[in-house]
Amino acid sequence: MKNILIVGMGEIGKPLFEIIEAVRKFDVYGIDNDCMKCSLNEPDVYDIPIYAMHICIPCKDMKSFIQIVNSYYTIFKPRMIIINSTVAPTTTQFIADVLQSDCLIVHSPQFGTHSSDESMKTQMKFYPHMIGPVTKEAGILCAIYFEEIGLHPIIYSSSLETEIIKIMETSYTGWMITFFNEFHRMAEYYSADFTEVVDGLIKLYEPNKHKPIWYPDVINGHCIMQNIDLTLQSYKAGFLELIKESNELRKEEVLNSKIKEDIEKIKKLRKESLPKGGFY
């Protein structure tokens, strides 16, 4: 069987490892800087040919990320590299330019919430697996491989499209939370009941599902704000700076018990309005 390597056994790498392992069509190995996260067969991976190497490590800046990927390529010489990490636009093409090899390279961002490994696996199987290829051959072979492990591939023109899709998707969430934060502030300024305002939006929009309902809150976690910082390193977007400024202000505002109470009420309203079994 072909050998698959997962680099980074965290919130993306571990569920992906388990998905590939379960189909029993490939031998899959997992490595991580934390030796406790490595797969039990990890010592064997250094003496075998690798067909596909998934990169599932955080990208904090383009230069160091490219160096890390290059170092793993030098060690394992895989036939195909699949960048599952969120990266700044042009990163995947730069990796191909640095490697200067016949290795097939694609970007394939992952989507889903990180509440648990099981939830992440469910969402990995639910959402389409977008492929941003450096070459046409890379896209085709990656799509065949994804189908073999039970994922649903869609091939895009290049890695640029998928890189931007991922950045846009997480920033969209951040922008919507910021949007609700700003109108929550407006409601507070006029002493209006923001819970009623959001309930009105739900009744207006939900029948046609044409505008999503979000909620006000601090943007936590390590995806949205980290991806915004990553994007701002190479592309200056004023609205992304606004998200950061608004989020810092909201961290102070949630110390107010009234604000916290409003947030919890609105989250409950939103949850009740969501379609059963949905993830949004």
Region 221-240: what's the mean pLDDT? 92
Enter the tokens of residue 258: 């009234």
pLDDT at 157: 97
pLDDT at 277: 57
Region 201-223: what's the mean pLDDT? 86
Region 79-87: what's the mean pLDDT? 97
From first CA to last CA, the distance across the chain in angstroms is 37
276: confidence class by pLDDT, cuts 50, 70, 90: low
212: confidence class by pLDDT, cuts 50, 70, 90: confident
Q: Which of 248, 267, 252, 127 is nearest to 194 (CA)?
A: 267
List, for residues 12-53, the tens digit of each pLDDT value.
Answer: 999 999 999 999 999 999 999 999 999 999 999 999 999 999
List, for residues 52-78, the tens digit of each pLDDT value.
Answer: 999 999 999 999 999 999 999 999 999
Region 267-280: what's the mean pLDDT? 76
Q: Mean pLDDT across the chain, nearest whole number?
A: 94
Look at residue 3 and tell me whether its pLDDT is greater than 70.
yes
pLDDT at 278: 56
Look at residue 211 and tell me whether its pLDDT is greater than 90.
no
For the chain, domains (ranges, CATH) are 2-157 (3.40.50.720), 163-273 (1.10.1040)
Look at residue 280 and tell me whether its pLDDT is greater than 70.
no
Question: What is the percent of the chain with per-residue pLDDT over 90, rounded to a whole number?
Answer: 84
DSSP labels for 126-154? HS-EEEEESSHHHHHHHHHHHHHTT--EE
pLDDT at 210: 76
List, for residues 116-175, the tens digit of each pLDDT value.
Answer: 778 889 899 899 999 999 999 999 999 999 999 999 999 999 999 999 999 999 999 999
